[in-house]
Structure 1
């Protein structure tokens, strides 16, 4: 009985050792397999600023393309960090399949405004990050002028996010000018008048007032008679003809 139990444990040990050897051998062979193909996909098929070739050139390790390098030497984490240094890339996810294909899923930054400041011009993305202009693509987004160096772009971004979340405002508002670091003036698509928005407080309430004013002014066709529409004061809209 004792011998039988010993043989049973010995057989189990041999089986486990064999499985470990086979796993190690398979893992070694898999690691030695080379990256034979690079597949690049853009999230939501958006690659306005970037091309597949531009991303491919970012996939560099040991001063050469990762293609034809052994899978075991590819540091995916480091490659992702290098890719994210590109100012047009918001997220990057890399993985290698068993057949030796390196898959790259790239999310491009989404510009929501173009900012013209005293010393620089750039896009502002949905995360409030500055994105440089590109020779490959010019985004049709609201133009922001009068931004001061010390101005809080987070507050500006909050206003922009409210605009792009509303289908009407997204089409209507084409420009934002800061007369100082605290108050802004909106340029609209529907006419030559300006909208005095004021400070970046009570944003939702101000846009509700503007849309209510529009509803009446468009209905009675008086909208084009106005030079300015002031919505910065609490609970009132002042239209100047």
Structure 2
């Protein structure tokens, strides 16, 4: 009986020794990894619609280095605060969501999903900006220009709370631009949105010489349905460049003005 008890204890001690050995090896591996520098940095930049990004890999690396106050590749893995970097990147006007993590080989991976512009506001001597799908402001980039409609004209005074005011011209143009962005036909057609002093809108297409008198920003869906029908069925029969303006202000009609 005593021999069996001794054997049981010997087995337990042996297993404890194995576990202890594994823990020691693991601890030293973690310590060794924590005390080594980041080997390489991989930056992945994506946009939800595949459009050209407004910022590049170099911009992200520079931004991260400013956050850390040093070069990320000089950082010890154990000192790298991924959450801090993610939080700072998420606060950028260009970035919708950021993920930062370390791979087993010491590579730091930074994934940035960018905000996608749907319209660009030009305001003369004042600095322009983009709006994304949710109405967030995106600064104009020196690296690239988004291929979206340009909005200009009599836009009125700008304030940061414009999205909450459905009568604000910036908000009204955003609503119009969102309709354009969500429709493949209109997205390929509309190049410029000009707001007149009276608040009515004239749009300039990418092809043809006809400008589009959209009028007041009301019954938007109805007006766009008329416009698309005219381009698809009426224009091929009447001929391109026949009119100077296509007027959408008439009920259920598209009126050509020479």
Q: TM-score, normalised by structure 1?
A: 0.81
- Are residues 133 and 163 of structure 1, via their aligned partners in 2, closer, same or farther at CA, if it must alter by over 3 Å? same
Measured after TM superposition, the shift of residue 144 of structure 1 is 1.0
After superposition, residues 41-60 of structure 1 pair within 5 angstroms as 41-43=44-46, 48-60=53-65
Contact 1:184 1:199 in 2 (8 A): yes
2:135 to 128, 133, 150: 128
- Are residues 6 and 132 of structure 1, via their aligned partners in 2, closer, same or farther at CA, if it must alter by over 3 Å? same
Structure 2: gaps (5+ residues): 163-167
| Aligned residue number for residue 147 of structure 1 | 155
Root mean square deviation, CA, Å? 3.0
After superposition, residues 110-125 of structure 1 pair within 5 angstroms as 110-117=116-123, 119-125=126-132
Counterpart-to-counterpart distance in 2, 1:126 and 1:229: 28
| 1:191 paired to 2:209 | yes
2:144 to 137, 145, 167: 137
After superposition, residues 1-241 of structure 1 pair within 5 angstroms as 1-43=4-46, 48-60=53-65, 62-117=68-123, 119-145=126-152, 146-148=154-156, 149=158, 150=162, 151=168, 156-179=173-196, 184-189=201-206, 190-201=208-219, 203-221=220-238, 224-225=242-243, 227-231=245-249, 233=251, 236-241=252-257
1:82-111 C-alpha deviation (Å, 9 max, x unpaired): 233433333322222222222222333332
Counterpart-to-counterpart distance in 1, 2:189 and 2:34: 56
Counterpart-to-counterpart distance in 1, 2:55 and 2:236: 44
Q: TM-score, normalised by structure 2?
A: 0.76
Helix, strand or coil at the partner of 2:145: coil
Counting matched residue pairs gives 238
Structure 1: gaps (5+ residues): none
Counterpart-to-counterpart distance in 1, 2:254 and 2:84: 57
